[in-house]
């Protein structure tokens, strides 16, 4: 016919074939999260485990006791850090009280060579991983931006610009895979952070490259004052996985054993070439956004109370009690260890850090430019003049 | 005007409060005005600049958005295309960067691209600068990015009255305005009565904050108080310094600055942003050209160093303070340094 | 116990309640796309319509004949525009040959007050909507950036920076909803564009705000040279919808009747407050990316041939033939209309546009700054001097 | 060095080809080098700068990424954290903007934030500037954004040999380099032999492209040929112009420029970017300060207008050309304009 003749299209059969299947294959159903967050603590019938997990064993006694100790230390760390803001030795502290299960599980699920990409709220995860708490708090204390050695600790700097650390995590995981190194990367982000473009781009790159990276969204229901309902209309944040072709898993973020199990499985899968996973942990920030925030402006006390009843430490203690493990001796030992961490931190934060203003110029480039050398000289002169007494 | 209280007897009012009042009055007067941003609703913003607006005008006039700066600015551009007058809040300077493409490629260019069919009457409020002990990414002076983008106005107040007046003018502008709020002045107070009518100045006019004859100090935003203090201190040394507050980097009020410098013959530009590629270079270049035969000394700059903004415990070394300004003034070739020419 | 006592958490029942349900409700299953792209043309058993559509009627004869005419004109427009690049009257042309079904259906599905947000490849959609083709081609001709009046035509400027138009579409739709105006917005984007952060942020805002906007992804399998498999690992791009809480619909993008039906339904739904929809149309770009591109560098001839067999015009003509509607008279009329469009375009593109360099300064701000007035005066002097003969 | 052909007898080679060769040699010499970007693989890039690299080194060394610039740069940052040396291609100037936050808040600051523990040896290649009839968003001169960001190097070649040498130096740098490729010079040819060894210059050194005595023209990238043509044309008018090619905006080789201007006493800075807030202001300010007593006339700037980049049919009016440079030279107060001082 006129049109087709001109366009050079071929006349074809009356039963047209569907368009060639150039779309990437994939089983959508297996990528969707479960209906109910995965939990292992508590004695009522537990939710079906996510497909990814298979039949994971319930945590044994030793693991539960260890988790309990870590959680207690974690809570104490949060309390101590917040107290330090009141005494003025910390500029600001975004507490993870209420979210310790995620923080601890994240740290424990990592293997030696794995990397952690924390966000600004995740200093506890870095501490639980073994990074010196004083170094971790550099950023919030204000003596330097990142106080620990990221290469040595395999903990990336705490990321303040939200979600920007996620593409870094993917790039590092990709580089490790190219090098044939068997490691996985765990990247943390908040519910608010999932709205950023960088979240999207990172998950997409991870899936296309099959990078060994696990994304853990700590959905604590708020981005500062903004509740989840103003952040997303999705059935769950874990439902975002399928749009990238990676599995989404939903877990009770206050159930440390469950989070630990999900992350260990996902990281193990990633390490052995199984590709990225998106984990959404449902949790709650029991304190204000930071010590400077007033949470009563945007949320009701009874909501907070409801979540206190679901406290991650309470969940473990309940299980320990049921198993008859919560002995006086254990409690005393856990308390002492937590107290030791706190007092060490308190003591070492008391001494003022020694700062060298020359550092301002030392790390801008591998070699300072001529202009920076001049500026450094100017500052040195000023400081020398000031030291000699009197301004100017 | 009988109702106008003399400003002297007005209550001491923080700059942030005047901004809040400007938003409130703009929302009340023009139904096209909408405020959007992260935490601007229930919380009233992390600096409380939007305090009470959602309660008074409803969620649809003062809206908590999802956490996505490109989305916020992009949506605001769409709203402006439909005739609204959005005012968006970026939570901190460095958190405006994700929206950079929307700003540079769309907000700044939409009027131009469409030969005026789609003007962009939107205001992007950005708290900027340091001096509040903020951790990294919370203290950037990012004005150079905006002044290098034709199509944007770049405005920044240094007084309580200007905070009100310039923000009203920005919101009333039919062009996109990057409104830079010097965050360390949020709490600085002046006698100012929120309840009396206030003048809305024209955008793009500098103002002489302190007349003088020896040399001109040029500042904007957080540097204006520094300049004023320096001028005060300089009296002891026998210098009578003029202080010009630019108020608007784009459009730049060249005439006011040029007139001042031609009169005094000497100038120092002061800003917190890094020196290299900062607005001071543009000013110094223009003044050097236009005041060539009037200058007794080169135009000097006192700025932040060419480094990423330092951590809180070191920021006092970075910020241009009174002493550094006075040092620069001292270097303005007051005696016959002509002879030492070859030594430079 | 020690830890809990200190943290102030309450002792609670041994059967802990799950965390309070602050997550937005939503039925995930209903948001997922069908397994097979929706089609209405062709006589084999047709795929199940997407939930959104209900039992849409098959297109009647009049509609099919009209679609055929539009498609033919569209194809002719693409050919003519490409020819203009060879003659030098167009700087560059990104052809939508092969994608006319999406372009035409998009234009026809819009109601009078609706807005269209096209990407740089969608000039045909603007033309089919009724915008003057010469004005539409301003951008690609180089006489101005956007040549038509966006307010009058309710067609946003063709967007070159990919996906950046999507948040604009959401903002405009939101503003219209706030004003109580009953209109919907159709925003177009390519498969490549879905990888940009702006895509993510736009869909999220749309869903949270329940803005009346429909996103149409023309998935033509390539972003310039990059095939879909390097762009995404998702089962389909329509699967991204559920992650925002909006329905994803998959449609055969070469079946004009199907795309039209899906878009009309989705736009109608949006207009009456039903919220946003993500539509993925599977199609193919039969020509190179632009006239300047060499598609043989990245795709095989047989892939192109397979898609030619699924040509959107062929699909309609096959159905018309089956219904006995493809008469000589109809064909002649369609051909003549297409030819008329082409010759009008050719003729009017022959005359050089008249340009005023003063326009450079007129539309930067509402009122030119002092600096711009000086620069304009400088240019005028230069031009006057040049006109007086001789450079300088 | 016997194998080195004298460059005079070398075949005419386009600048783009030398860039391609630099990438190839870098990939061959250092397994840490990885090339990433949109269409850089099979297609070889829209300007064919990566032509043949994927075929020679495989998809994992030269990778077609998804279409997401922040993702590309963000992933490259992560790769650099693991010790790789990524070289990424942004397809056009304006399409780098989506990655602005990754550039300004991370690439530029990572070394600083981590006290050197995480250096960022990455190169961001950006084709920039106009003059090729590109539609909107394809012709931006975006260098001011990068020069205002401490932590970045900003480098741009103007010759075929520099295209090779500076790109090799950028890739070898342990700091992030924004490597701006003047797209209208991609096809400009010079005798250059791809097969012989080529020197890799140090970053941050300007070069005098043409010695002269009357005045100094300062340019970079696409403006260098304009300056050279202007210098040629100026001979007729009796001016012997020196031309300095900056090659690197950061670090800036102040000494070379200052020495030249102190010698000639007059200077014109030429660039395509908008004048206001462009790099010319920084240069003019520095020169005005450091050459104060040597300048016979103010430092002038010849730049693009302060407007969004115009549509192709009007771009010739916007681009600083030879005539405009000569006009500026003529305004350098050659006779005793001192007397007309008050008339200004
Ligand atoms: C790009 C960016 N925008 C804004 C901010 C300011 N900000 C800091 S924390 C925060 C809320 C984060 O919410 P979420 O991601 O849920 O993490 P949470 O605080 O709950 O741990 C905001 C808006 C930021 N840090 N980065
Ligand atoms: C932000 C941005 N990055 C890169 C480009 C350059 N570019 C133009 S078209 C194109 C491919 C677009 O692919 P797709 O979205 O699938 O649309 P299609 O060309 O297939 O219609 C690219 C990379 C751009 N225009 N904008
Ligand atoms: Mg949160
Ligand atoms: Mg495509």
Q: Note the pTM of the prediction, 2 decimals.
A: 0.96
Residues C161 and C251 both lie in one domain = yes
Tell me which chain C residue has its CA closest to the CA of residue B119: C366
pLDDT at D45: 98
Domain match, A209 and A332 both: yes
C12 burial via Cβ count (<10 Å: 0-12, 13-18, 19+): middle
SS3 D272: strand
Domain co-membership, A176 together with A319: yes
Spatial separation of the C-alpha atoms in residues C113 and C119, rounded to whole Å: 20
State how far the alpha carbon of C236 is from the alpha carbons of A20, A25, C219, C310, D274, in Å: 14, 9, 10, 20, 44
pLDDT in tens, D290-300: 999 999 999 99
Judge whether C254 and C310 are in contact, CB under 8 Å: yes
Q: Determine whether the shortest distance from the Cβ of C148 to ligand 2 is under 6 A.
A: no
> DSSP of B248-278, one letter per residue?
EEETT-HHHHHHHHHHHS-EEEEEEEESTTS
β-sheet bridge partners, residue D181: D127
pLDDT reading at D137 higher than 50: yes
With an 8 Å Cβ cutoff, is C313 touching chain A?
Answer: yes
Is the backbone peptide bond immediately before B251 cis, with ω within 30 degrees of 0? yes
- In a 10 Å sphere around its CB, with 0-12 CB exposed, 13-18 middle and 19+ buried, how is residue C362 labelled? middle
Instruction: Tally Cβ neighbours within 10 Å of residue B8.
Output: 6
In this structure, is the dihedral angle defined by the CA atoms of residues B241, B242, B245 and B251, taken in order, positive or negative? negative
The pLDDT value given to residue C19: 58
A257 plus A363 within the same structural domain: no
Q: Specify if C204 maps to a domain.
A: yes
Shared domain for A241 and A364, answered yes or no, is: no
CA atoms of A245 and C342, how far apart (whole Å): 44
pLDDT tens digits for D47-67?
A: 999 999 999 999 999 999 999
Ligand 2, residue C191: give the atom nearest the CA: 16
- Mean pLDDT score, A273-284: 97
Residue C16 lies in a domain: no
Question: What is the per-residue pLDDT for C231?
Answer: 97
Is residue A239 in some structural domain?
yes
Dist. CA A215–CA A206, nearest whole Å = 10
Query: Can you say whether the dihedral through the CA atoms of B92, B97, B100, B102 is positive or negative?
Result: negative
Q: What is the pLDDT of residues B27-45, one digit of tens each?
A: 999 999 999 999 999 999 9
Whether the per-residue pLDDT at D157 is higher than 80: the answer is yes
The two tokens of residue C246 are 């909006």
Instruction: From chain B, pick out residues whose CB is under 8 angstroms from the CB of A93.
Output: none
* Residue B337 pLDDT greater than 80, yes or no: no
What is the average per-residue pLDDT within B147-176? 98
Q: How far lies B151's CA from each of B112, B115, C171, D339, in Å?
A: 8, 13, 21, 38
Element (H, E) at A227: strand A226-227
How far is residue D288's CA from residue D299's CA, in Å, rounded to a whole number? 7
Task: At A120, list the tokens.
Answer: 């600004």
Q: Note whether A42 and A162 are same-domain residues.
A: yes
Minimum CA–CA partner of B281 in chain D: D282
How confident is the model at residue C4, as a pLDDT? Answer: 38
Confidence label for D5 from pLDDT (cuts 50, 70 and 90): very low
**Do C366 and C262 sit in the same domain of this protein?**
no
Residue that has been written with the tokens 């999207």 in this structure:
A200
Helical axes D279-290 vs B279-290, angle rounded to 10°: 60
Do A185 and A263 form a contact (C-beta atoms < 8 A)? no
Indicate the burial class of C45 (C-beta count within 10 angstroms; 0-12, 13-18, 19 or more): exposed
Residue A322's alpha-carbon distances to A241, A318, A331, A332, in angstroms, are: 36, 6, 15, 19
Mean pLDDT of A236-262: 96
At a CB cut-off of 8 Å and minimum separation 6, what does A186 contact? A106, A109, A110, A114, A115, A116, A117, A169, A213, A214, A216, A263, A267
Q: Give me the residue label for tokens 């007046």.
A: B165
Question: Per the domain annotation, does C152 fall within a domain?
Answer: yes
CA dist., res. C135 & res. C138, Å (int): 5
Q: Residue A195 burial (CB < 10 Å; 0-12/13-18/19+)?
A: buried
pLDDT at B344 over 60: no
Q: Which of A22, A244, A282 sits opposite C227 (nearest CB)?
A: A22
Rounded to whole angstroms, the Cα distance separating D296 from D285 reads: 15
D97 lines ligand 2 (CB under 6 A): no
Structure token digits, residue C112: 């009078």
Does C366 lie in the same domain as C295?
no
Question: Catalytic residue numbers of D?
Answer: 138
Residues in Cβ contact with B194 at an 8 Å cutoff, skipping those fewer than 6 apart: B13, B17, B18, B21
Instruction: Please tell me the least confidently modeled range out of A66-80, B179-193, C17-31, D298-312.
Output: C17-31
Q: Which of B105, B282, B338 sits opposite D293 (nearest CB)?
A: B338
Mean pLDDT, range A268-277, rounded to an integer? 97
DSSP character for C120?
Answer: T
Cα D106 from Cα B315, distance rounded (Å): 20
pLDDT computed for residue C1 by the predictor: 32
What band does A12 get if pLDDT is binned at 50, 70 and 90? very low
The Cα D58–Cα A281 span in angstroms is: 39
DSSP one-letter string for D142-200: -HHHHHTSTT-EEE---SHHHHHHHHHHHHH-SS-EEEEEEGGGTT-EEE--TTS----
pLDDT for D342: 39
**Residue spans of chain C under pLDDT 70:** 1-26, 43-45, 55-56, 390-392
Residue D194 buriedness (CB in 10 A; 0-12 / 13-18 / 19+): middle
Distance from C-alpha of C184 to C-alpha of C187, rounded to nearest angstrom:
10
Structure-token match 């299960």, residue found: A101
pLDDT of amino acid B59:
97
Give Cβ neighbours of residue A174 (< 8 Å, ≥ 6 apart): A205, A209, A211, D75, D78, D79
Given this model, what pLDDT does residue B309 score? 98
CA–CA gap between residue B8 and residue B10 (Å, rounded): 5
Whether residue C199 lies within 8 A of chain A, CB to CB, comes out as yes
Least confident stretch, A52-66, B203-217, C186-200, C268-282: A52-66
From its phi and psi, is residue B10 left (phi > 0), alpha (psi between -120 and 50) or beta?
A: beta
Nearest neighbour of A221 by CB, restricted to C22, C25, C314: C22
Amino acid A17: pLDDT? 52
- β strands within C130-273, DSSP E: 185-190, 213-219, 222-223, 226-227, 248-252
Claim to verify: residue C319 and residue C390 sit in the same structural domain? no
Q: How far is CA A143 from the centre of its chain?
A: 23
Ligand nearest to the CA of C221: 4
pLDDT tens for A112-154 read 999 999 999 999 999 999 999 999 999 999 999 999 999 999 9
Tell me how far apart the alpha carbons of residues D148 and B273 are, in angstroms, rounded to a whole number: 9
Whether B79 and B107 have beta carbons less than 8 Å apart is answered as no
What is the reported pLDDT for D25?
Answer: 97
Whether B276 has a pLDDT exceeding 60, the answer reads: yes
Hey, which residues does C219 pair with through a beta bridge?
C282
**C366 with B174: Cβ contact below 8 A:** yes
Give the total number of structural domains in chain C.
Answer: 2
Q: Is residue A4 part of a domain?
A: no
Q: Which residues of A touch B314 (CB under 8 A)?
A: 355, 357, 359-360
The confidence score (pLDDT) of residue C24 equals 54
Burial of B246 (0-12, 13-18, 19+ CB in 10 A): buried
Give the rounded percent of residues in chain B with a pLDDT score beyond 90: 92
Q: Do C361 and D324 touch (CB under 8 A)?
A: no
Strand C213-219 vs strand C185-190: parallel, antiparallel, or unpaired?
parallel
Q: Which of C197, A220, A168 is nearest to B72 (CA)?
A: C197
Same domain, C196 and C178: yes
Quote the DSSP letter at residue D219: E
**Which domains does chain D carry?**
12-191 (3.40.50.970), 207-343 (3.40.50.920)
What's the pLDDT at B323?
97
| Beta carbons within 8 Å of D146's beta carbon, 6+ residues apart | D103, D152, D154, D178, D180, D249, D250
Q: Count of CB contacts below 8 A, A vs D?
A: 136
Instruction: Give the CATH number, domain containing residue C97.
Output: 3.40.50.970
Whether C342 and C246 map to the same domain: the answer is: yes
Tell me which residue range forms the domain holding A222: 25-349
The mean pLDDT of chain D is 95
Q: Angle at Cα B293 formed by Cα B290 and Cα B295, nearest 5°?
A: 85
Mean pLDDT of A161-179: 98
B-chain residues near A353 (CB < 8 A): 313
Question: What mean pLDDT is reported for chain A?
Answer: 91
Of B169, B301, B326, nearest to B248 (Cα)? B169
Which residues 102-121 in chain C show a CB within 8 A of chain A? none
Across chain C, where does the E strand assignment appear?
115-117, 185-190, 213-219, 222-223, 226-227, 248-252, 277-282
The residues pairing with C119 across neighbouring beta strands, listed in sequence order, are: C159
Neighbours of D90 (CB within 10 A): 24
Q: Residue B148: left (phi > 0), alpha (psi -120 to 50), or beta?
A: alpha
Cα separation, C326 vs C323, whole angstroms: 8
User: Tokens in use for A219?
Assistant: 């959905």
Who wins on pLDDT, C284 or A9? Answer: C284
- Ligand 4 (single-atom ion) residues, CB below 5 Å: C 190-192, 220, 223
Is C230 within 8 Å of C260 (Cβ atoms)? no
- State whether A91 and A240 are in the same domain: yes
Look at residue D335 in the predicted model and tell me its pLDDT. Answer: 76
């Amino acid at each position: 016919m006129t049109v087709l003749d001109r366009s050079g299209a071929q006349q074809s059969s009356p039963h047209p074939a569907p368009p060639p299947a150039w779309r990437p294959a994939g089983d959508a159903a297996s990528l969707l999260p479960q209906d109910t967050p995965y939990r292992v603590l508590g004695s009522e019938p537990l939710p079906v485990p996510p497909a990814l997990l298979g039949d994971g064993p319930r945590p044994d006694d030793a693991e539960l006791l260890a988790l309990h100790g870590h959680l207690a230390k974690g809570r104490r760390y949060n309390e101590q850090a917040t107290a330090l803001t009141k005494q003025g030795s910390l500029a600001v502290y975004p507490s993870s009280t209420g979210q310790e299960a995620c923080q601890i599980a994240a740290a424990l699920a990592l293997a030696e060579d794995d990397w952690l990409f924390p966000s600004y709220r995740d200093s506890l995860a870095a501490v639980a991983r073994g990074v010196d708490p004083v170094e971790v708090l550099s950023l919030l204390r204000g003596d330097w931006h990142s106080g620990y050695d990221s290469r040595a600790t395999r903990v990336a700097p705490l990321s303040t610009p939200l979600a920007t650390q996620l593409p870094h995590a993917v790039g590092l995981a990709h580089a490790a895979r190219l090098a044939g190194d068997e490691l996985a990367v765990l990247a943390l982000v908040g519910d608010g952070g999932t709205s950023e473009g960088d979240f999207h781009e990172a998950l997409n790159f991870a899936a296309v490259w099959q990078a060994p990276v696990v994304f853990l969204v700590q959905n604590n229901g708020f981005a500062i004052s903004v509740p989840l309902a103003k952040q997303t209309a999705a059935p769950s944040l874990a439902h975002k996985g399928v749009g990238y072709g990676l599995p989404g898993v939903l877990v009770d973020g206050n159930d440390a054993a469950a989070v630990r199990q999900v992350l260990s499985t996902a990281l193990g899968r990633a390490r052995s070439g199984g590709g990225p996973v998106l984990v959404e942990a449902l949790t709650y920030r029991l304190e204000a956004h930071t010590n400077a925030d007033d949470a009563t402006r945007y949320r009701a006390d009874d909501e907070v109370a409801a979540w206190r009843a679901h406290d991650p430490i309470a969940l473990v203690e309940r299980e320990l009690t049921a198993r008859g493990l919560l002995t006086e001796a254990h409690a005393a030992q856990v308390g002492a260890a937590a107290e030791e961490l706190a007092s060490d931190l308190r003591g070492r934060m008391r001494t003022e850090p020694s700062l060298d203003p020359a550092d301002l110029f030392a790390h801008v480039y591998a070699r300072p430019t001529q202009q920076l050398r001049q500026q450094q000289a100017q500052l040195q002169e000023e400081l020398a003049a000031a030291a000699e007494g009197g301004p100017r | 005007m009988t109702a106008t209280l003399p400003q002297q007897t007005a209550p001491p009012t923080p700059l942030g409060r005047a901004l809040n009042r400007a938003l409130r009055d703009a929302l009340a007067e023009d139904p096209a005005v909408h405020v959007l941003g992260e935490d601007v609703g229930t919380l009233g913003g992390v600096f409380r600049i939007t305090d009470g607006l959602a309660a008074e005008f409803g969620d649809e006039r003062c809206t908590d958005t999802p956490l996505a700066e490109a989305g916020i600015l992009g949506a605001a551009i769409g709203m402006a295309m439909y005739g609204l007058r959005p005012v968006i809040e970026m939570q901190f300077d460095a958190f405006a960067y994700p929206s950079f493409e929307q700003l540079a490629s769309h907000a700044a260019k939409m009027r131009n691209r469409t030969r005026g069919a789609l003007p962009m009457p939107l205001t992007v409020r950005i708290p900027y600068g340091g001096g509040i002990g903020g951790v990294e990414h919370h203290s950037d002076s990012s004005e150079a990015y905006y002044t290098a983008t034709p199509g944007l106005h770049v405005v920044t107040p240094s007084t309580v009255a200007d905070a009100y007046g310039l923000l009203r003018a920005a919101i009333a502008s039919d062009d996109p305005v990057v409104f830079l709020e010097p965050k360390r002045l949020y709490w600085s107070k002046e006698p100012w009565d929120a309840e009396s009518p206030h003048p809305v100045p024209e955008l793009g006019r500098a103002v002489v904050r302190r007349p003088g004859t020896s040399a001109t100090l040029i500042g904007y935003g957080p540097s204006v108080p520094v300049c004023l203090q320096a001028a005060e201190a300089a009296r002891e040394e026998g210098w009578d310094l003029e202080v010009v507050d630019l108020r608007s980097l784009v459009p730049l009020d060249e005439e006011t600055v040029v007139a001042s410098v031609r009169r005094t013959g000497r100038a120092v530009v002061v800003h917190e942003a890094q020196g290299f590629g900062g607005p001071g270079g543009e000013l110094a270049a223009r003044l050097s050209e236009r005041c060539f035969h009037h200058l007794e000394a080169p135009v000097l700059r006192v700025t932040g160093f060419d480094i990423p903004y330092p951590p809180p415990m070191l920021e006092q070394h970075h910020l241009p303070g009174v002493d550094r300004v006075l040092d620069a003034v001292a270097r303005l070739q007051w005696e016959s340094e002509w002879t030492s020419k070859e030594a430079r």
